[in-house]
Structure 1
Amino acid sequence: MNKIILLAYIATTLFAASVEVTVIKPEPNKQALSVEVDGVVVAQNKNVITAKANGVIKLFVKNNSNVFKGDKIAQISDERREQTQKLLKTKLSLIKNEMNFQQIKLDDAKDMFKLGVGSKNSYLNEKVINEQLKENFQTLNNEYEILKLEKNNSIIYALEDGTITNLVASNSYINYGVALGNFISKKSLIKLFVDGAYADKLKVGTLANIQSSYKNTAATIINILPTSTNNLLEVMAEPENSLPLNLQVNATIYLRSLNGLTLPKKAIVLVENHPAIYIIKDGIAHMKYVEILKDMVDSVLIKNTLDKENQIAVKNSYMLHDDLEVIVK
C-alpha cells in the first residue's frame, strides 16, 4: 500500500514539474528531390547503311574502323549507268539544238502567217513539232536526272564521327536497298532504368549526375520512352561528356526542387503516428502536426506552414504534451 502511494506521489511530482527545453527557429531551405538509378551507355545513333544504287561496291575504309564526318566510306559503280548517262547527255544536247532551230522555224511560220504570206496549217505544224521536241527533251531529261541522282547516291559519306561495322565484301555486286554495313555514332547517350513510380515526376530537361568507373559527368534527360521492363521505365539522357559504349553507370536524377523549413530530427515527435513539433510560446508547449518532405540524416525538411519567428522545442521534445509549461534554456 505504501509503495502505491509513493509511486503516485512521484508521478504527480513529475507531471507537475516543468520540462526544460531548448528551442530553435525554423530555417527556410531548398532541397532537390532525387532518385538513384542504374544505366548503360548506348550510341546516340545506330543505323544500317543501305545502298541507294545498283553496281559494284568499292570500300574506302576497313571493317570496325573509326570514321570522321565527311569521310568517304564506299562508292557503288555501274558501267551501264555511266554509259547510259553519257548517251542521254549527248541526246539532250542534240535535241536542245533541234529545239533552238525549231523555235526559229516556228517564229518564222508565225510571222509569215500574220503577214498573210504563210498558211495557218504550216504554222500549226511547226508548233506541233516544237511541242513534240519539248516533250521528248523532258522525258530524256527526267531519265538523265534519275541516273544523275543514282550516281550522287552511289557515294556513301560519314554524316558524323563514328564506327563502321559489318561491312559487305569489297568489289561485290550490290542491289538497291541492300544493307552495306552498320554505323555506330561516336556520340553517346545514357539509357537509365527508372522505377515506374516516378513516371509522373520525370520530365524532358530534367538534370542528372552520372557516376561511372570511367568518369563522372552531368546529363540532361531528352526522352522518356513509352516502354518498360519489370516496371522500370527507359529514360534517355544526353551526357555533357562522351562515355564508352556499354559502360555501366549509376545516376542521380534530380526530379524537382522542394521548398520548406529545416529542423533537427530531435524536434520531430510522433503523435498518434503522425509527425509533429511543439511550438513554445510564453513558456507553454503547443503541439502542431507537420508534413515531412525529405529526410536528410540528422535533419528533416518540412512543409512551410510555420511562422519564421516560431520557437520550436528541440531538447526533450519527446517529453512534451499540449499546453505543458516548459522552461526554455
Structure 2
Amino acid sequence: MARIVIIGASGHIGTYLVPRLVRAGHKVVAVSRGQAKPYLPDPAWSDVEQIQLDREAEEARGRFGAAIADLGADVVIDNICFTLESARQMTAAVAGRVQHFLHIGTIWTHGHAEVVPTPEDVTKRPFGDYGVQKAAIEAHLLDLARRTGFPATIIHPGHIVGRGWAPLNPAGHFDLSVFETIARGEVLELPNFGMETVHHIHADDIAQLLVLAMTHWGASVGEAFHAVSPGAVTLRHYAGAMYRYFGHEPNLAFAGWQEWASRQSKDNAEASWEHVVRSPNCSIEKGRRLLGYAPRYTSLAAVEDALGWLIANGRIGVPR
C-alpha cells in the first residue's frame, strides 16, 4: 500500500477521498492549516496522520514544496494549488521523489463551451484569473510529464456537490433561498430562457476517479480527465426537477439577463454570470475508456443527496 499525502485534505474532495484511501489500506497524511474539519465525520480519520502547514506562508518563504517532499510520499494529491508559481515550486521540490502527483484542476480551464460535450484535449481559451491560472498549471504539468517523465495526472472537476455544503442551484449561484422558493411551490425566475447549462459532480465521484487514476498509473500519467457527472443539465431542466423533488409542478418565469440581474443581489448576479457565461458540458469518455470511470451520481442525484443532508440539518426550510 502507498503513503499518500493529501494537500487540503479536509475540504469537499478530502471528506470522501480520505476514508476511501484509509479503508483500502493506504497510509494517509492529511496536510492542512488545521482550521477546518471534514464535512462529514468518519472513524477512518482516526487513522490519518495530521500535518499542519500554512501553504501561503510557507510558499512565501520558498519552503512549502520542500516540506511536502520531506514527508516521504509515494503519492501527492494537491487539492489547493491555484497559481502557476505555486505549482512550479511544488514540482521542483517533489520531482524524482514521488511516484505519482495528482493535481485538482477545474473545467473552467475551457472558458466558453464551444464543442459539446467538450473533450479534454480541445484548444483551451480560459478567461478569468481562476481559469487562466488553472490552465497554466495544467500546461506546466503536462509539459513536465512529456519532457521529463514527471508523473502528473490532472483531474478537472465540475461544480462539486456533496453533503455538508450548498450546491450550485438552478439560478446559477449558491443562495439556498432558491431551494426554499421551490419547496414552497412559488415562482422562480431564471435568466434568459433557462437554457444555459451547469455540470455537477458529486465529491465522492471525484474521489472515485482519483483512486482509478492511481490504480491505472500507466494510463493516467501525463493525462488530464474531466470529473463530471454523465451529463450537464440546463437551468430550466434542473429547476423543474427540483420542483418535482419537493412535490410541485414547475412554476418558472424568465427574464432577459439585465432585467433578471437587476432583481438579484450583487453577489448572486455575479456568481450566476460566472457560471452561465461558460455553460459547461464536458465529456467523460476519456475517463471511461482509459480508467473505467463510471460516476455513481447524475447531476440531479448528486444535488438531491446534498439537499437531503441540508434539510435534515435545518439548513433549508421546508414547509410541513
The verdict on a shared fold, with TM-score over 0.5 as the criterion, is no
Q: Which has the higher contact order (CA 8 A, sep 6+)?
A: 1
Normalized per residue, the structure richer in helix is 2
Q: Structure 1 or 2: larger strand share? A: 1
TM-score normalised by structure 2 residue count: 0.18
* Higher gyration radius (CA): 1
Taking structure 1 as the reference length, what is the TM-score of the superposition?
A: 0.18
